């Protein structure tokens, strides 16, 4: 489907990006930017008064046996398939992001992945992923399908034509990045699953391994495992991507290895990481954040600057270019993808 294919440009060695002092200074830098405050506000949003820092996180932590990774990119699993990497960049069918790509180390060291959250700087979790072993990995497919099946993810990655897509990424907490994902359309995965004509929604459930994921052990008040869902017409949209990699390589663990969804018109939490189940349903399934705080996190959760979060405006966002550069910019309708997805949401204010 692509006439325009560009070779990714960020393979050029960039010594600045690998200077450890950059990420060692992160906390300090983010505090200066005011991001620490946003993070704390969101913690309250997500789990009410069950504030993670008040729990004896160390005593509850899963035993950690593997050595701490040296840096955020050392968490790319050694046994992740690399066939098809780096993939050719596709630019047809959706707009250019209109802003530069976020620095790679920032995208892999400022994360939301509650299964790994511990204490302190809650975004700083890459070093807690040592015990997590994504491969081998299978996905169970069930519900309204012709035939339930189990898919091996390494096979899937090898068999799919991988492509690179540079998407804008917007978290509900009002920060954003620009990410070069590697992956394949969710539509292709769904076609492989062969849903029947009763299927109106598709539900995703993330992995639940408390012995490998310290955040699971430390936050029993959440309804683990993480669960999300989309309407079928959303899931079949061209923009919906199954990401298996980023920046030309397989996903680091903290970014959702071995696979996660990238839905650029929705708030980040609509894209489950590390899912192990795909279930096709007739009825709208419950979703994790919506179940916890329905007034704050809707089922659709499209990026919409005219619909404020009850506790903050969504009209603008802090665009994180690097650990030290975070400019406040206006948020765009459907995160800039209104032309691609606006017709799916006739009831949503689009002014």
Ligand X SMILES: Nc1nc2c(c(=O)[nH]1)N[C@H]1C(S)=C(S)[C@@H](COP(=O)(O)O)O[C@H]1N2
User: Which residues of the chain form contacts with Mo ion (CB under 5 A)?
Assistant: 112, 171, 268-269
Q: Of ligand X, Mo ion, none, which one sits near residue 290, judging by CB under 5 to 8 A according to partner kind? A: none
Q: Which residue is associated with the tokens 């683990």?
A: 224
Q: Which residue is associated with the tokens 């046996």?
A: 65
Q: Of ligand X, Mo ion, none, which one sits near residue 114, judging by CB under 5 to 8 A according to partner kind? A: ligand X
To the nearest whole angstrom, how small is the minimum distance from the Cβ of residue 115 to Mo ion?
Answer: 14
To the nearest whole angstrom, how small is the minimum distance from the Cβ of residue 196 to ligand X?
Answer: 27
To the nearest whole angstrom, how small is the minimum distance from the Cβ of residue 346 to ligand X?
Answer: 27
Q: Candidates 25-33, 58-66, 144-152, 265-273 — which segment interacts with ligand X by CB under 6 A?
A: 265-273
User: Positive or negative, the Cα torsion across 28, 29, 33, 39?
Assistant: negative
Give the one residue of 106, 244, 255, 335 binding ligand X; rule: CB under 6 A. 255
Q: Which two tokens stand for residue 108?
A: 């892999």
Give the contacts of 32 (CB within 8 A, at least 6 positions apart).
none
Q: Which residues pair with 29 in a beta bridge?
A: none
Strand ranges for 265-313 from DSSP E: 275-281
Q: How many residues line the site for ligand X (CB under 6 A)?
A: 16
Closer of 112 and 118 to Mo ion (Cβ): 112
Give the contacts of 90 (CB within 8 A, at least 6 positions apart).
1, 2, 4, 5, 163, 164, 165
**What percent of the residues of the chain are helix, what percent strand, and what percent coil, each to the nearest 5?**
25, 25, 50
Closer of 184 and 269 to Mo ion (Cβ): 269
Closer of 171 and 240 to Mo ion (Cβ): 171
Confirm if 48 and 289 have CB atoms less than 8 A apart.
no
Q: Candidates 31-39, 53-61, 272-280, 303-311 — which segment interacts with ligand X by CB under 6 A?
A: 272-280
Closer of 89 and 104 to ligand X (Cβ): 104
Residues 116 and 35: their CA atoms lie apart, in Å, by 19
Closer of 268 and 272 to Mo ion (Cβ): 268
Task: Give, in degrees to the nearest 5, the angle at Cα 271 between 162 and 69.
Answer: 75
Q: Of Mo ion, ligand X, none, which one sits near residue 266, judging by CB under 5 to 8 A according to partner kind? A: none
Residue ranges in 157-216 that form contacts with ligand X under rule CB under 6 A:
171, 206
Q: Candidates 108-116, 149-157, 299-307, 317-325 — which segment interacts with ligand X by CB under 6 A?
A: 108-116
DSSP assignment of 101-166, as one string? PPPHHHHTTS---GGG--SSSTT--GGG-TT----S-EEEEEESBSS-EEEEHHHHHHHS--EEEE
To the nearest whole angstrom, how small is the minimum distance from the Cβ of residue 270 to Mo ion?
Answer: 9
Q: Candidates 60-68, 110-118, 144-152, 159-167 — which segment interacts with ligand X by CB under 6 A?
A: 110-118
Q: Which residue, judged by CB position, is nearest to ligand X in the bound state?
A: 268
Helix (H) or strand (E) holding 230: strand 227-231
Here's the x/- map for ligand X, 58-97, by CB under 6 A: it reads as ----------------------------------------
- Is 268 near ligand X (CB under 6 A)? yes
**Phi, psi (deg, nearest 5) at residue 140:** -90, 135
Closer of 88 and 292 to ligand X (Cβ): 292
- Is 273 near ligand X (CB under 6 A)? yes
- CA 265 remoteness from chain centre: 12
Longest dimension (CA), the chain: 55
Residues 237 and 239: their CA atoms lie apart, in Å, by 5
Q: Of Mo ion, ligand X, none, which one sits near residue 206, judging by CB under 5 to 8 A according to partner kind? A: ligand X
- Is 113 near ligand X (CB under 6 A)? yes
Closer of 206 and 287 to ligand X (Cβ): 206
User: 312 by DSSP, 3-state: which?
Assistant: strand
Q: What is the binding site for ligand X (CB under 6 A)?
A: 111-115, 171, 206, 226, 255-256, 268-269, 271-274
């Amino acid at each position: 489907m692509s006439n325009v294919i560009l070779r990714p440009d960020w393979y050029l060695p960039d010594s600045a990006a690998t200077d450890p002092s950059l990420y060692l200074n992160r906390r300090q830098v983010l505090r200066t930017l005011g991001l620490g405050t946003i993070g704390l506000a969101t913690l309250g949003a997500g789990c009410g008064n069950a504030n993670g820092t008040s729990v004896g996180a160390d005593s509850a932590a899963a035993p950690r046996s593997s050595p701490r990774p040296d840096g955020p990119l050392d968490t790319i699993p050694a046994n992740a398939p690399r066939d098809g990497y780096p993939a050719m960049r596709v630019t047809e069918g959706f707009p250019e992001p209109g802003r530069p790509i976020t620095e790679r180390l920032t995208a892999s060291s400022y994360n939301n992945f509650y299964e790994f959250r511990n204490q302190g700087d809650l975004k700083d979790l890459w070093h807690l992923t040592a015990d997590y072993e994504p491969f081998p990995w299978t996905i169970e497919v069930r519900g309204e399908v012709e035939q339930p099946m189990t898919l091996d993810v390494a096979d899937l990655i090898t068999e799919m034509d991988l492509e690179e897509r540079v998407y804008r990424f917007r978290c509900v907490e009002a920060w954003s990045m620009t990410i070069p994902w590697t992956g394949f359309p969710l539509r292709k995965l769904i076609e492989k699953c062969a849903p029947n004509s009763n299927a109106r929604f598709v539900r995703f459930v993330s992995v639940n391994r408390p012995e490998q994921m310290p955040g699971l052990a430390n936050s029993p008040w959440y309804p683990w495992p993480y669960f999300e869902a989309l309407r079928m017409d959303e899931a079949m949209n061209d923009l919906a991507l199954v990401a298996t990699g980023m920046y030309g390589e397989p996903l680091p663990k903290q970014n959702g290895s071995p696979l996660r969804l990238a839905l650029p018109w929705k708030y980040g939490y609509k894209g489950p990481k590390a899912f192990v189940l795909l279930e096709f349903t007739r009825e709208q399934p419950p979703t994790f954040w919506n179940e916890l705080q329905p007034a704050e996190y809707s089922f659709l959760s499209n990026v919409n600057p005219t619909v404020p979060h009850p506790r903050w405006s969504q009209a603008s966002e802090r665009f994180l270019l690097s650990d030290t550069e975070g400019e406040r910019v206006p948020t765009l309708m459907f995160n800039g993808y209104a032309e691609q997805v606006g017709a799916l949401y006739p009831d949503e204010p689009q002014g």
